[in-house]
Structure 1
Amino acid sequence: MSGTVHPDNKPLFIQIKEKIEDQIVNDQLLEGEQVPSTTQLSQFYKINHITVLKGINLLVDSGLIYKKRGVGMFVAEGAKEKLLQTRMSAFADDFVLPMVQEADKLGLSTDELFQIITQLKGSDPHES
């Protein structure tokens, strides 16, 4: 894990959960690979281990990681795909739907909207 947890509107345990999810999505933590321990994470981020454990437990509850008693925690099979599906659905609900609704209010056709998206995406220097 790189970086630090940042004070924002989200509780620290949610930030920890999201950082681990990001690492799974970005292939920094692969399926079947061991996740850093709560002790390692609490020392790295300089936060209480109970806070870290709360975030880890959310990942366990959602089936993204699992615990092997006495060994550690590991990324579950299918975790990346599950996260991608969840994020795509949230992306559609949180960003695409409001964009389409605004486009309708502006009288933009699907082709015009697609052209705007294509222009913006093409101008992104981070695009691969």
Structure 2
Amino acid sequence: MKLNMDGTTPIYVQVAEWLQNEILANRLVADGKVYSQYQLAELFNINPATAGKGLTLLLEGEILYKKRGLGMFVTAQAKEMILEKRRSETLQQLAQELVLEARRLAVADEELLALIQKMQRGE
């Protein structure tokens, strides 16, 4: 996995998002040990402090917890918390953008709903 070093999203946020994706993909599981900041730094070729900042972001969000002298681990509720946050924030933002664009294009509500339903069916 490569991080976007030239993008607008800070590197530490990208590290945190990558770890969240690993949790969602069940590659990091509840009560499982997470990479150390040094392992992440080596994996992504970044400064260990930057990797540590990404871990701290998840620690503060209660996605990870710390065991003194052993490292950081995934909380039991991490996957559900990530899913809920992404549903409430990401989907809401995308829906808002979609509705605004539909209004700009004068798409009727019924037409927009039909389009969404068609996409859900995979058509």
Structure 1 and Structure 2 fold alike (TM over 0.5):
yes
Cα gap change, 1:120 to 1:65, in 2 (>3 Å): same
Query: Residue 55 of structure 2 corresponds to which residue in structure 1?
Result: 56
CA drift at 1:107: 4.8
Q: Any unmatched runs of 5+ in structure 1?
A: 124-128
Paired AA for residue 4 in structure 2: H
How many equivalent pairs are there?
A: 120
RMSD: 1.7
**TM-score normalized by the length of structure 2:** 0.86
Paired AA for residue 108 in structure 2: L
Distance 1:34 1:78 in 2: 15
Map 1:83-98 → 2, pairs under 5 A: 83-98=82-97
Map 1:86-125 → 2, pairs under 5 A: 86-103=85-102, 106-110=106-110, 112-121=111-120, 122-123=122-123
SS of corresponding position for 2:93? helix
**TM-score normalized by the length of structure 1:** 0.83
Q: Deviations over 1:70-97 (max 9, x none)?
A: 1111000101111111111112331112
Query: Residue 20 of structure 2 corresponds to which residue in structure 1?
Result: 21
CA drift at 1:11: 1.3
> Which of residues 4, 18, 22 in structure 1 aligns to 2:2?
4
Query: Residue 75 of structure 1 corresponds to which residue in structure 2?
Result: 74
Q: Any unmatched runs of 5+ in structure 2?
A: none
Query: Residue 39 of structure 2 corresponds to which residue in structure 1?
Result: 40
